[in-house]
Amino acid sequence: MTSVPRICILGGGFGGLYTALKLNQLAWEPGQKPEITLIDRQTNFVFTPLLYELITGEMQGWEIAPPFAELLKGTDIRFVQGAVKQLPHTEDPTHPAPNSVTLTDGTEIGYDRLVLALGCETPSDSVAGVSEHTISFRSLEDAYKLDAKLRILEAATTEKIRIAIVGAGYTGVEVACKLADRLKERGRIRLIQSRDKILPNATEFNRNAALKALEQRGIWVDLETNVSEITADSIGLIYKGQTDIIPVEVVMWTVGNQVSPAINHLGLSLNAQGKIAVSDKLQVLDRPEIFALGDAAAVLETDGKFIPSTAQVAFQQSDFVAWNVWSSLTDRPLLPFRYTDLGEMMVLGDNNAVLSGLGIQLDGPLAYLTRRLVYLYRLPTLEHQLKVGFNWLTQPLVKLLS
């Protein structure tokens, strides 16, 4: 190890960015503060739980997706924009630098500790036409693509704007409610679900609130329905063995969670779902110098079940990874990760949300306000929280005066 340890973090989402910020704040011996490098293929962090607010224009891109350069200003964290290509196998004797990451542009970055937080993607190869004709909803680009398409349709003379949303999990339901509130009587929205109920993983209270919100907005829900094919202006729906071709202007694809393909090239042992197997200390099996967290890591709870892929989990894990990386570099014992389920929140249109957790169940405008405040508190860096909070306080006044 060189005199100053080098920590390299791959992926600047909920797992990676928050690990970097916490590592930067830990107490390091004088002269021993490590070189922390954060690598992401994007220039901006994305606070995904608030992405829906871009559909209705309730929030702006800079609030939800601040640039890494801005968030890391004033810290000792170096940001490198680049896509991860390869992690050399330690048993590969021909590689000149075993402890280094290679980016697609050929840059090599050495490390003493590596943190993997590359997240997941929405797969687009299960049905013909998905990659060519649908919009997913995971990134800032997806939200802008949807907005651009809606603007064109809103400016046209067509009476109805027909939208099919495939997948009635959290993303599908939340997108449907926001779209309905944006398009109002012009929207004709269909939610397509292969299972026999919406939100199979949600609490009953949240599912019932979601059903009510969908009904109030006139959103049609197709249960036990599969998709046969998608074209530029239609979607094929299979229900009880019969296929119907429905004309549509937009298809949103929100089904599935596939580990970032870069993981496959890293030479690590993966579980059946392609996730990185880690110990309870969040260390990659057989590679104690590498830590993994978030959607890409397979972590077992004490009851033997895998913990869910959520921002809440990645955020909690970032505390443990930062602490354990610090401990491993300062000869202290590492802590086992324990997940605390704080409940779940969903936004169900303008000024409407639902939440349940920690013995509390709430829906309507009060849940909407609570969700907003919780997320404001969770935004990265105090400076960004203050900027966004100030904007929320002053926006109504600006709108009134303009």
Ligand X SMILES: Cc1cc2nc3c(=O)[nH]c(=O)nc-3n(C[C@H](O)[C@H](O)[C@H](O)COP(=O)(O)OP(=O)(O)OC[C@H]3O[C@@H](n4cnc5c(N)ncnc54)[C@H](O)[C@@H]3O)c2cc1C
Closest approach of ligand X to the CB of residue 207, in Å: 15
Alpha carbons within 13 A on the beta-carbon side of 70: 14
Q: Residue 240: which region, alpha, beta or left (left: phi > 0; alpha: psi -120 to 50)?
A: left
Is residue 387 at the binding interface for ligand X, with CB under 6 A as the rule?
A: no
Closest approach of ligand X to the CB of residue 317, in Å: 9
Strand partners, 114: 8, 290
Alpha carbons within 13 A on the beta-carbon side of 282: 35
Around Cβ 289, how many Cβ atoms within 10 Å? 14
Closest approach of ligand X to the CB of residue 157, in Å: 31
- Which residues 32-71 are close enough to bind ligand X by CB under 6 A? 39-42, 48-49, 51
Mask of contacts with ligand X, 270-309, x by CB under 6 A?
A: ------------------------xxx------------x
Please identify, among the stretches 11-19, 148-156, 189-197, 348-356, the one whose residues bind ligand X according to the rule CB under 6 A: 11-19
397 sits in which H/E element: helix 382-401
Cβ proximity to ligand X, 248 vs 307, nearer residue: 307
Closest approach of ligand X to the CB of residue 167, in Å: 11
- The SS3 assignment for 290 reads strand
- Which residues 91-150 are close enough to bind ligand X by CB under 6 A? 117-119, 137-138
- Which residues 14-33 are close enough to bind ligand X by CB under 6 A? 14-16
Rounded Cα gap, residues 30 and 310, in angstroms:
36
In angstroms, what is the C-alpha Rg of the chain?
Answer: 22
Closest approach of ligand X to the CB of residue 137, in Å: 5
Rounded Cα gap, residues 251 and 223, in angstroms:
17
Closest approach of ligand X to the CB of residue 65, in Å: 10
Work out which of 310, 324, 352, 381 binds ligand X, going by CB under 6 A.
310
Cβ proximity to ligand X, 55 vs 214, nearer residue: 55
Cβ proximity to ligand X, 161 vs 347, nearer residue: 347
Is residue 262 at the binding interface for ligand X, with CB under 6 A as the rule?
A: yes
- Which residues 82-101 are close enough to bind ligand X by CB under 6 A? 83-84
Q: 225-230 and 234-239 as β-strands: parallel, antiparallel, unpaired?
A: antiparallel
Rounded Cα gap, residues 34 and 8, in angstroms:
10
The closest of 82, 78, 86, 79 to 105, measured between CA atoms, is 82
32: Cβ–Cβ under 8 A, 6 or more apart, which residues? Answer: 4, 5, 330
Closest approach of ligand X to the CB of residue 13, in Å: 2
Helical H segments across 231-350, by residue range: 311-329
Give the type of residue at 185: E
Residue nearest to ligand X (CB): 13
Residue 237 near residue 225, CB atoms below 8 Å: yes
Is residue 176 at the binding interface for ligand X, with CB under 6 A as the rule?
A: no
The Cα-based distances of 66 to 42, 71, 199, 299, 374 in angstroms read: 11, 7, 30, 29, 18
Is residue 72 at the binding interface for ligand X, with CB under 6 A as the rule?
A: no
Cβ proximity to ligand X, 178 vs 234, nearer residue: 178
Residue that has been written with the tokens 């690990």 in this structure: 19
Q: Number of residues in contact with ligand X, rule: CB under 6 A?
A: 31
Is residue 169 at the binding interface for ligand X, with CB under 6 A as the rule?
A: no
Residue 186 in tokens? 């012009």
Cβ proximity to ligand X, 310 vs 356, nearer residue: 310
Closest approach of ligand X to the CB of residue 32, in Å: 27
Closest approach of ligand X to the CB of residue 394, in Å: 26
Is residue 167 at the binding interface for ligand X, with CB under 6 A as the rule?
A: no
Which positions lie near ligand X, rule CB under 6 A? Answer: 11-16, 39-42, 48-49, 51, 83-84, 117-119, 137-138, 171, 260, 262, 294-296, 309-312, 314
